[in-house]
């Protein structure tokens, strides 16, 4: 395999750290860039000191001048708790960040992949969601800073491809979970696991009948790297996620069972614009990338529970 210089923005985050590990293991020269708003040096601790890994504190809303062959743009807080903390900055990260990394890719003629999101579909009217579905997003809602920021980033990627003949890749990531998730990020898997391990009440919003699909991080990184490696002129967007669908109540019950927790399930009102269902149509990923997830939910949850168990013991 040819060694490449690879830039990963948001590289110390949940997904970014797993991607950096995979790229370093394959012998690529990796530059990990992060402003550490939600990312953590602990996520890439095992990579520090390796000759083909470099860590840089930098915010993608400012230009970056480096020489690279490939760029993975993963920089943006992805959980409601974090992206709603400073919604203006969230939009800037998606939009200004896209402009800056695309400008870099244009200058150095690098292939660039945008980590987009299933949130571009909003609260969908069709199910499961194919890439042709244009979405139903509330531009004034509390999730809009993330949803619309990512939608605008996709537009920028497309326009840079058309206008500047850039080699782009756009993948829409559905719910992903695994080690290195932030323990306080407000996402259901991390929330439920932490609450269960502490024997605290598990918080369900609404009646728990809303559905999600959960993709284990290793499978997701497989799809992401397959997308970048694609030599054909196929830019996406491509859905990458697990089409197996579970209700939020089912997820909570599985986690209670796997942890042996004494936690009881409690119910709170459903937040505004929270999607009632979310599931990817991965027909395109199967055909284009020869990709589909292989990790069963129970297997992935067991690994994630083990990670959080260790994390909680260390933090006391």
DSSP 8-state code for residue 67: -
pLDDT of residue 130: 94
> Are 79 and 186 within 8 A, CB to CB?
yes
* β-strands 245-247, 211-213 pairing: antiparallel
CATH code for residues 5-176+217-242+280-294:
3.40.50.720
pLDDT of residue 273 exceeding 80, the answer is no
**Six token digits for residue 90:** 């969230």
* β-strands 265-268, 202-205 pairing: parallel
Tokens 């089409």 identify what position?
243
Nearest to 15 by CA among 87, 71, 78: 78
**Six token digits for residue 163:** 């206008």
DSSP 8-state code for residue 200: P
Nearest to 261 by CA among 313, 216, 202: 202
**Six token digits for residue 201:** 């009440």
pLDDT of residue 183: 86
The shares of helix, strand and coil residues in the chain, as percent rounded to the nearest 5, are: 40, 20, 40
Tokens 């509330």 identify what position?
138
Q: How far apart (Å, rounded) are the C-alpha atoms in residues 124 and 144? A: 14
pLDDT in tens, 167-226: 999 999 999 999 999 888 888 999 999 999 999 999 998 889 999 999 999 999 999 999
* β-strands 238-240, 168-173 pairing: parallel
User: Which helix (DSSP H) or strand (DSSP E) does residue 34 occupy?
Assistant: strand 29-34
pLDDT of residue 1 exceeding 80, the answer is no
Q: Rounded to whole angstroms, what are the CA distances from 282 to 130, 150, 224, 292, 293? A: 8, 20, 13, 8, 10
Q: How far apart (Å, rounded) are the C-alpha atoms in residues 218 and 15? A: 9
Q: How far apart (Å, rounded) are the C-alpha atoms in residues 262 and 308? A: 17
**Domain definitions of the chain by residue range:** 5-176+217-242+280-294
**Residue 160 is among the residues annotated as catalytic for this protein:** no
pLDDT of residue 2: 87
> Are 286 and 219 within 8 A, CB to CB?
no
Q: How far apart (Å, rounded) are the C-alpha atoms in residues 174 and 76? A: 15
> Are 22 and 221 within 8 A, CB to CB?
yes
pLDDT of residue 259 exceeding 70, the answer is yes
pLDDT of residue 101 exceeding 90, the answer is yes
| Mean of the per-residue pLDDT values of the chain | 95
Which entry of 83, 121, 146, 160 is annotated as an active-site residue? 146
**Six token digits for residue 46:** 């095992």
**Six token digits for residue 203:** 């918080």
> Are 240 and 220 within 8 A, CB to CB?
yes
pLDDT of residue 79: 81
pLDDT of residue 265: 92
**Six token digits for residue 234:** 């196929």
Longest dimension (CA), the chain: 58
DSSP 8-state code for residue 129: B
- Residue 316's pLDDT band, with cuts at 50, 70 and 90, is low
User: Which helix (DSSP H) or strand (DSSP E) does residue 311 occupy?
Assistant: helix 297-315
**Six token digits for residue 246:** 């579970």
> Are 237 and 172 within 8 A, CB to CB?
yes
pLDDT in tens, 53-73: 999 999 999 999 999 999 999
- Residue 40's pLDDT band, with cuts at 50, 70 and 90, is very high
């Amino acid at each position: 395999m040819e060694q490449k210089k690879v830039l990963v923005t948001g590289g110390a985050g949940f997904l970014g750290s797993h991607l950096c590990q995979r790229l370093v293991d394959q012998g690529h020269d990796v530059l990990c860039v992060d402003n550490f708003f939600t990312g953590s040096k602990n996520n890439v601790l095992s990579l520090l000191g390796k000759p083909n890994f470099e860590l840089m504190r930098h915010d993608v809303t400012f230009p970056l001048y480096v020489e690279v062959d490939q760029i993975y743009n993963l920089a943006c807080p992805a959980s409601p708790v974090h992206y709603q903390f400073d919604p203006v900055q969230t939009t800037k990260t998606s939009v200004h960040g896209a402009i800056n990394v695309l400008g870099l890719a244009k200058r150095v003629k690098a292939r660039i992949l945008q980590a987009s999101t299933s949130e571009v579909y909003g609260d969908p009217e069709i199910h499961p969601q194919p890439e042709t579905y244009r979405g139903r997003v509330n531009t004034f809602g509390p999730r809009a800073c993330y949803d619309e920021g990512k939608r605008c980033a996709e537009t920028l990627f497309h326009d840079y491809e058309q206008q500047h003949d850039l080699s782009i890749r756009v993948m829409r990531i559905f719910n992903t979970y695994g080690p290195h998730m932030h323990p306080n990020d407000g996402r259901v898997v991390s929330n439920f696991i932490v609450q269960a391990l502490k024997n605290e009440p598990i918080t369900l919003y609404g009646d728990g009948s809303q559905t999600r699909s959960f993709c284990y991080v290793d499978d997701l990184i497989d799809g992401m790297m397959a997308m970048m490696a694609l030599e054909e002129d196929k830019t996406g967007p491509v859905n990458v996620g697990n089409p197996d669908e579970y209700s939020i109540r089912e997820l909570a019950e599985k986690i209670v069972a796997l942890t042996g927790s004494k936690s009881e399930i409690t119910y709170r009102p459903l937040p505004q614009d929270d999607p009632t269902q979310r599931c990817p149509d991965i027909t395109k990923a199967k055909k284009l990338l020869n990709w589909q997830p292989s990790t069963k939910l129970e297997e992935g949850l067991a690994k994630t529970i083990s990670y959080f168990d260790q994390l909680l013991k260390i933090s006391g």
